[in-house]
Amino acid sequence: MPTSIARQTERQLGGSRSVLVRQQRDHQELDRLVHAIDASTGRERLELLEDLARLVFPHAFAEESVLWPVIRRVMPEGPELTLQVEQEHQEINELWSQLERTTPGDGRHEELWPRIVALLREDVRDEEDEMLPRLQERVGRRELVRMGLMWEAVRRIAPTRPHPVVARRPPGNAVAALPLTVLDRSRDALDRTSRRREGRVSRVAGRLSSVAAGLAGRLEHVPPMTVGEDPSTRAGRTGRG
């Protein structure tokens, strides 16, 4: 069995610019944020959940756009492995979309959160122990660095919210990237303003965020954005749990 990237040094993984090191760092930050969320309440919890979303969803989008096509090309078992992780990503998207409609302390929030955490940890294990070490065996350091630079570029301009209707593969996810990124990052700023300000400014920011959310929900269903994925990862059809 290949060695998990979680047990390798930065040098073994190809250096600081390698996609494997970038993945490892994000996984470590995910673990830190999950623990912080578990220990938080109220507005602090909402702020940390937003931080986690801004980590998780661009990370997954960059994987699906940059890494998984390479894995499907260079590994005989690539299609099966990437589909398994895409199914995990899809279920996380669907559960997080439900979580966004809850409030900490309302019961439903506390029901959904452990399910999301379990899936996030399963996703990390599948990537660190299976997919990424096998990729490491098949490509050289130069290719790992090249993929790392591409992955980072995509991550920085990717959507930051769950979009369960959008395809998990090109061309759908590529078409969706720009409009949904603009809407998501606008919502992030508006939600922070709504939480941190009071009175009219808070109310207006909250209403504008709701308008942007509605627009994003409608855009998800535009046909080009739903094309390209495996049928098992379509909304409501993950076949898991």
Convert the pLDDT of each residue in 47-56 to its tens digit.
999 999 999 9
Q: Enter the tokens of residue 142.
A: 């130069």
Please give the Cα distance from 92 to 162 (Å, whole number): 8
**pLDDT attached to residue 28:** 97
Cβ distance 158 to 62 under 8 Å?
Answer: yes
**pLDDT attached to residue 19:** 98
Tell me the mean pLDDT in the region 4-27.
97
Tally of CB atoms within 10 A around 37: 20
- pLDDT tier at 240 (50, 70, 90 boundaries)? very low
Distance of CA 138 to the CA centre of its chain: 25
**pLDDT attached to residue 238:** 60
- Angle (nearest 5°) at CA 58 between 226 and 10: 135
* Domain ranges (residues) in the chain: 10-233
Whether 2 shows a pLDDT value over 90: the answer reads no
Whether 15 shows a pLDDT value over 60: the answer reads yes
**pLDDT attached to residue 10:** 96
Please give the Cα distance from 83 to 101 (Å, whole number): 28
Whether 121 shows a pLDDT value over 90: the answer reads yes
Tell me the mean pLDDT in the region 52-68.
97
Q: What is the dihedral of CA 26, 27, 28, 34, to 10 degrees?
A: 110
- Between 24-33, 86-95, 133-142, 168-177, the lowest mean confidence (pLDDT) is in 168-177
Tally of CB atoms within 10 A around 76: 8
Tell me the mean pLDDT in the region 142-160.
96
Determine if the pTM surpasses 0.95.
Answer: no
Q: What percent of the chain has pLDDT over 90?
A: 92
